[in-house]
Chains A and B, each alone.
Chain A
């Protein structure tokens, strides 16, 4: 079993839709949770960063972490065609030097 599971999609939604992206994980030691957005042939761009359980909101983006269920989510409100990208979840145990555990990434297309 992979440590981080993420449905690769593809996911296709109309402009203005609410998008829900999710990851599950198996290692209860994970404490730091990140979402990266990666456009085609570009490097990952940090979107959201949360520590432990809870919610964090930044503009149209909301990140949720439920450590009891080992489940994290990223919600995108009022989605735009410019949100079309691959979204990678990543997490870290906090005690292992520099090691990020990534999901496979979900490919999202927002059509006008």
Chain B
């Protein structure tokens, strides 16, 4: 089973709201990722967690705050977002069996975020 789940599917929030996106996988993968995807563009990497530790932060604004409570869960906390942050937010995971993050990434269905 190569399933990554994400909740909620859709989220509408105002610029002063605080919300969280959630991602879960039960494949035993040890690397988890957050991507942002705008319409007709490829996914852009935001954060990478390896063994529950933040490995990569692609200079993402601090209004996005990732959290990895355990090896199966990944959260993205949102605060004071801007309308230009409206996008599809994708979570992915990979096995990381080789000791390096070269393994194939499996994506979740995404959360479609609209910031008003």
Report which A residues bind B (CB closer than 8 A).
Answer: 8, 31-32, 34, 36, 41-46, 49, 88, 90, 92, 94-100, 102-105
Task: Assess the B102–A94 pair: CB atoms within 8 A.
Answer: yes
Given A94-B100, A97-B101, A46 and B45 contact (CB-CB distance below 8 Å): no
Contact A105 B42 (CB under 8 A): yes
Q: Once the chains bind, are A98 and B33 in contact (CB under 8 Å)?
A: yes
10 smallest beta-carbon distances between A and B, as pairs: A102-B42, A98-B101, A98-B48, A43-B107, A94-B102, A97-B101, A43-B109, A43-B110, A44-B107, A49-B104
From known contacts A41-B112, A43-B90, A104-B41, infer whether A98 and B107 are also in contact, taking CB-CB under 8 Å: no
Once the chains bind, are B104 and A46 in contact (CB under 8 Å)?
yes
Q: How far apart are A50's CB and chain B's nearest CB, in angstroms?
A: 10
Judge whether A42 and B110 touch: CB under 8 Å.
Answer: yes
**Identity of the chain A residue whose Cβ is nearest the Cβ of B96 in the assembled complex:** A98
B interface with A by C-beta (< 8 Å): 2, 4, 6, 31, 33, 40-43, 45, 48, 50, 55-56, 88, 90, 94, 100-102, 104-110, 112
Q: Is the CB of B42 within 8 A of A99?
A: no
Secondary structure dominating the interface of A: loop
Best-buried of B31, B102, B108 by chain A (most CB within 10 Å): B102
Is there an interface contact between B106 and A98, defined as CB atoms closer than 8 Å?
A: no
Which residues of B are found within 8 Å of A44, using beta-carbon distances? 43, 90, 107
Chain B: which residue is nearest A92 at the CB level?
Answer: B102
B45 and A100 contact, CB distance less than 8 A: yes
Question: Can you list 20 A-B pairs, Cβ within 8 angstroms, ordered by A?
Answer: A32-B102, A32-B104, A34-B104, A41-B112, A42-B109, A43-B108, A43-B109, A46-B2, A88-B42, A92-B102, A97-B50, A98-B50, A98-B55, A98-B56, A98-B105, A99-B48, A100-B105, A102-B42, A102-B43, A103-B42
A39 nearest in chain B by CB position:
B109
Which residue of chain A is the closest to B31 with respect to CB atoms? A98
Judge whether B104 and A97 touch: CB under 8 Å.
Answer: no
Contact B101 A46 (CB under 8 A): no
Name the residue on B nearest A94 (C-beta).
B102
Interchain CB contact under 8 A, B90 and A41: no
Min CB distance B101 to A, Å, is 4
